[in-house]
Amino acid sequence: MMLTRRSLVSAFAFAGLTSTVPAAYAQAQKAPVTLVIANSQWLDALRGKNLWAALVKYQQVAPHVTLKQEAIPSADFNDKITTALGAGQGPDIAIMQEGLFYSIADAGFLVEVEKAVEGVKLNGTNDKGIVKGKRFGIAWQRAVYALIYNNKLLEAAGAAVPTDIDGLIAAAKAVQSKSGAIGFSSRHQMADFSGWFMDFQNWAFGYGVNWVDGAGKLTLNTPEAVAAVAAFKKVYDAGVIPVGDDMPTQRMRFKQRQVGFSIDNSGGTLNIASGGPLSSTDLRATPLPFKNPGAHQQIFIGISRHSKNQAEAAAFLTWLAGPDGQQALREASGPDALATDLPVTESFRATNPWADVFAELAVNSRSTLIPGYEIKTAPIMRLVMEALEKVIVAGANPKTALDEAQKQALARF
Amino acid sequence: MSEQATTGLRRFGARALPHAFILPPIAYLCLFMFWPLARQMWMSLTDAKLATPNEGQFVGLANYARLVETPAFYASLKVTLVYATSAVVLGVTLGVISAFAINRPFRGRAVVRAVLLFGWAVPNVAAALIWLWMFNERSGVLNQILTGVGLSRLRWLTSIDWAMPSILMVTIWQVAPFVMLVVLAALQSVPDEVREAARVDGADPLNVFRAVTWPHILPAVQLAGLLVAVWSIRRFDIIYLLTGGGPLGSTSTLVVRIRQTAFEAHELGMASAYGAVGLVLALLIAAIHQLVDRRRARWMADR
């Protein structure tokens, strides 16, 4: 028999069909499953839509699976997920900040996912996904903090890019007096506590604070912590912060070209750069104006112990951590670091000149959780933030305020 | 069936019918009020955590002992009492004055009434967000008015001196229309002939008010005061959205403290103990109301 080109093509096509048809047939035969995925990001104006579009690509690979959003505002996310899981309910999969991840993993509400990501070359962003020696989550995104600024306002004011606090105050004042815009936006009130304490970790880490000593004992009143609090007060007193504005309002103003500088994470920066009058190319990022590296917000994805579809959820995680899932997520995640080392796309870098700085800062950034006190970080940081509030609002001495916080911390934790 | 049996059955039916009617509300109260309340009281005696609410160990009165040793508890208690008292005094006074103002017919009364009722009709969260914008230091309408008349801007929600008055302003904007409605209904039920008789007897307007109108509307005012007090002790959304309990705990009521204890520190047992104190406060106010009401009834009977 002569082997013609047509017969060869037919043979390969047949071979291809025989290998793929049973797999597709098997997929089609599987019982339909709905996986509910909870995330506060689904509510983000443009990013939420893009992230969801990335995830639903899984439905092409697994046609029997329907992904369903559970969108919860970030302010209520921790409360809602914790109470739902505590009551034996909740979503199949949750995408959450590491503080919540730690507390629900510790309470036994997440299932182990080591097998789901077997063979995947996970990067360092996944390290804290291991609790008590077991992997309960993989990194969804890591949003590192940087000092961001509106380059046009900076140029118009003739100010230099700041590298320290005094420079930041000078540049913010210059922007403010030249254009009438807000000099520097920052969370600064207890109504924003959950975001404020994470933001403040940049100041603390920047001044070399660890919150625990070498022996693991809580130390809230170190000279470094006093310096960080004093530095924040200096900026607060400079009159460059829009006192009273919450963070969504401040980000909106930044988007409207009404803010000069801000310390924000890559996720927030992507929000500012998307869908508003501020052109993404006018937005710039630079390292934080402190001596030491700052913080990052680590987001994990985990599977609920109460899920009735744990095997399907694990299969979804396998896809997500694999090349196709990571590529899909990469395009929707802007500059955030992902579970595997996948660089920001060239097209994104070209239209967002600020993205590279975030990638560089992610190398040395630190978790906002206090080592050894991961589950208790929020109540401990409330003591710190109350001390900071005493300093900025009532003019208390930073050392005295932090000494009091230390006393309370030692009595409670 | 004999006539005797039929009569007996009818009598039983007549006796059972009221019980049958009252059964659904009792079941409702047991299911949605008394059972959760009993659970909360039990939880306040345990070390239950938010993530594992059913796995708390019995710790006796340890949570209460810790509570009374915490300075923040007394601060919250004081803030709660100041807030509730101010809300009652100012809200009820303003509500009563408004009710008198719109009791008599005048041109545009329907419009004025609709405007006054606006605060009551708006949901709490929406009201808080509207006021948040109005209080904004940089672009809020209140500071624009102040600067417009040559005064300096105020830090409405971020200064210790102004946070509580600002919260009270929103609260009163919400509760005064309710008081107004209740008192207006009472005012409109005061019989005109009694007022007329008082006038014929030579009473001036002040005496007509003191001898006829006020005793007639007093039960309604008392009831409105009781409700405003209890609601103020329980109010969370407005305070939390506007200040989160700050600055420096100056607006941190017991309910705000419950939220922090339960959802930040995850200490459900301790949060339940805070809740129990709030419950005692509310019961105390209800008891005082009951006492005052009885005395008033006795006084009315003696006249």
Q: Do the chains contact at B244 and A85, CB–CB below 8 Å?
A: no
Q: Cβ contacts (< 8 Å) between B125 and chain A: which residues?
A: none
For residue A13, is it within any domain? no
Tell me the mean pLDDT in the region A2-24: 46
For residue A11, is it within any domain? no
Select from A190, A305, A412 the residue whose CB has the most chain B CBs within 10 Å, as the one to mutate to test that interface.
Answer: A190
Taken in order B52, B256, A76, A335, is the CA torsion positive or negative?
negative
**What pLDDT, on a 0 to 100 scale, did the predictor assign at position B78?**
96
Tell me the mean pLDDT in the region B216-229: 93
pLDDT tens for each residue of A252-266: 999 999 999 999 999
Other Cβ atoms closer than 10 A to B53: 19
For residue A64, is it within any domain? yes
pLDDT tens for each residue of A300-350: 999 999 999 999 999 999 999 999 999 999 988 888 999 999 988 888 888
For residue B14, is it within any domain? no
> Which residue of chain B is at minimal alpha-carbon distance from A102?
B51
What whole-number percentage of chain B has pLDDT above 90? 61
pLDDT of A45 higher than 90: no
Angle between helices A377-394 and A193-206 (to 10 degrees): 80
For residue B59, is it within any domain? no
pLDDT of A19 higher than 60: no
pLDDT of A46 higher than 60: yes
Residue B210 is part of a domain; what is its CATH number? 1.10.3720.10
Same domain, residue pair A257 and A291: yes
Nearest to A185 by CA among A267, A234, A244: A244
Q: Rounded to an integer, what distance in angstroms lies between the CA atom of residue B256 and that of residue B75?
A: 12
Tell me the mean pLDDT in the region B132-159: 91
A129 within 8 A of A300, measured Cβ to Cβ: yes
pLDDT of A17 higher than 90: no
Residues with Cβ within 8 Å of residue A408, at least 6 apart in sequence: A383
**What pLDDT, on a 0 to 100 scale, did the predictor assign at position A242?**
92
Token pair 């595997």 is found at A340
**What pLDDT, on a 0 to 100 scale, did the predictor assign at position B126?**
92
A392 within 8 A of A233, measured Cβ to Cβ: yes
What whole-number percentage of chain A has pLDDT above 90? 77
Tell me the mean pLDDT in the region A277-299: 95
**What pLDDT, on a 0 to 100 scale, did the predictor assign at position A25?**
46
Same domain, residue pair A266 and A398: yes
Q: Do the chains contact at A103 and B266, CB–CB below 8 Å?
A: yes
- Between strands A33-39 and A93-97, the pairing is parallel
Q: How many domains does chain A have?
A: 2
For residue B230, is it within any domain? yes
Q: Do the chains contact at A191 and B137, CB–CB below 8 Å?
A: no
Same domain, residue pair A197 and A257: yes
Q: Pull the structure tokens for residue A54.
A: 């990335």
Distance from CA of B139 to the nearest CA of A (A): 10
Q: Rounded to an integer, what distance in angstroms lies between the CA atom of residue B218 and that of residue B225?
A: 10
Q: Rounded to an integer, what distance in angstroms lies between the CA atom of residue A302 and that of residue A54?
A: 18
Q: ipTM of the assembly?
A: 0.73
For residue B11, is it within any domain? no
Residues with Cβ within 8 Å of residue B132, at least 6 apart in sequence: A246, B157, B241, B242
Which amino acid belongs to residue B199? R
**What pLDDT, on a 0 to 100 scale, did the predictor assign at position B303?**
67
- Confidence tier at B222 by pLDDT (50, 70, 90): very high
Same domain, residue pair A287 and A303: no
Same domain, residue pair A282 and A133: no
Nearest to A145 by CA among A364, A309, A348: A364
**What pLDDT, on a 0 to 100 scale, did the predictor assign at position A18?**
44
For residue B27, is it within any domain? no
- In Å, how far are A117, A177, A253, A342 from A46, measured between CA atoms? 29, 33, 17, 22
Select from A131, A185, A194, A243 the residue whose CB has the most chain B CBs within 10 Å, as the one to mutate to test that interface.
Answer: A243
pLDDT tens for each residue of A206-219: 999 999 999 999 99
Same domain, residue pair A259 and A302: no
- Confidence tier at A1 by pLDDT (50, 70, 90): very low
pLDDT of B89 higher than 70: yes
Tell me the mean pLDDT in the region B51-75: 91
For residue B58, is it within any domain? no
For residue B175, is it within any domain? yes
- Confidence tier at A2 by pLDDT (50, 70, 90): very low
Q: How many domains does chain B have?
A: 1
Which amino acid belongs to residue B99? A
Tell me the mean pLDDT in the region A389-408: 96
Same domain, residue pair A227 and A158: yes
Same domain, residue pair A211 and A285: yes
Residues with Cβ within 8 Å of residue B284, at least 6 apart in sequence: none
Least confident piece of the model among A36-40, A174-178, A340-344 = A340-344
Quick one: which H or E segment has residue A151? helix A151-157
**What pLDDT, on a 0 to 100 scale, did the predictor assign at position B5?**
81
Q: Cβ contacts (< 8 Å) between B248 and chain A: which residues?
A: 386, 389-390, 393-394
Same domain, residue pair A43 and A171: no
Same domain, residue pair A395 and A274: yes
Which residue segment(s) compose the domain that B126 sits in? 66-302
- What is the pLDDT of chain A when averaged over all its residues? 91
Largest CA distance in chain B: 92
Q: Cβ contacts (< 8 Å) between A249 and chain B: which residues?
A: 136
Quick one: which H or E segment has residue A251? helix A247-255
Smallest Cβ–Cβ distance between B248 and the set A103, A191, A393 belongs to A393
> Which residue of chain B is at minimal alpha-carbon distance from A393?
B159
Q: Rounded to an integer, what distance in angstroms lies between the CA atom of residue B29 and that of residue B282?
A: 18
pLDDT of A398 higher than 90: yes
**Interface residues on B facing A, Cβ-Cβ cutoff 8 A:** 49-53, 132, 135-138, 140, 155-160, 240-249, 260, 263-266
Q: Rounded to an integer, what distance in angstroms lies between the CA atom of residue B81 and that of residue B93?
A: 18
- Confidence tier at A9 by pLDDT (50, 70, 90): very low
Tell me the mean pLDDT in the region A376-391: 94
pLDDT tens for each residue of A84-138: 998 899 999 999 999 999 999 998 999 999 999 999 999 999 999 999 999 999 9
For residue B182, is it within any domain? yes
Same domain, residue pair A232 and A268: yes
For residue A115, is it within any domain? yes
Q: Cβ contacts (< 8 Å) between B49 and chain A: which residues?
A: 107
pLDDT of A371 higher than 50: yes
DSSP A85-136: HHTT---SEEEEEHHHHHHHHHTT-B---TGGGTT----GGGGGGEETTEE-
Tell me the mean pLDDT in the region B32-36: 93
Same domain, residue pair A251 and A400: yes
Q: Do the chains contact at A244 and B138, CB–CB below 8 Å?
A: yes
pLDDT of A20 higher than 70: no
For residue A195, is it within any domain? yes
For residue A6, is it within any domain? no
Q: Do the chains contact at A82 and B50, CB–CB below 8 Å?
A: yes
Percentage helix, strand, coil for chain A under 3-state DSSP, each rounded to 5: 50, 15, 30
Q: Rounded to an integer, what distance in angstroms lies between the CA atom of residue A354 and that of residue A92?
A: 35
Tell me the mean pLDDT in the region B182-192: 91
**What pLDDT, on a 0 to 100 scale, did the predictor assign at position B192?**
86
Tell me the mean pLDDT in the region A6-34: 55
B16 compared with A183, residue with greater pLDDT: A183
Which amino acid belongs to residue A84? A
Which residue segment(s) compose the domain that A182 sits in? 144-296+371-412
Q: Rounded to an integer, what distance in angstroms lies between the CA atom of residue A266 and that of residue A359?
A: 9
**What pLDDT, on a 0 to 100 scale, did the predictor assign at position A14?**
45
Q: Rounded to an integer, what distance in angstroms lies between the CA atom of residue B248 and that of residue B237?
A: 18
Residue A308 is part of a domain; what is its CATH number? 3.40.190.10
Q: Do the chains contact at A394 and B159, CB–CB below 8 Å?
A: no
Distance from CA of A88 to the nearest CA of B (A): 10
The model's pTM is: 0.81
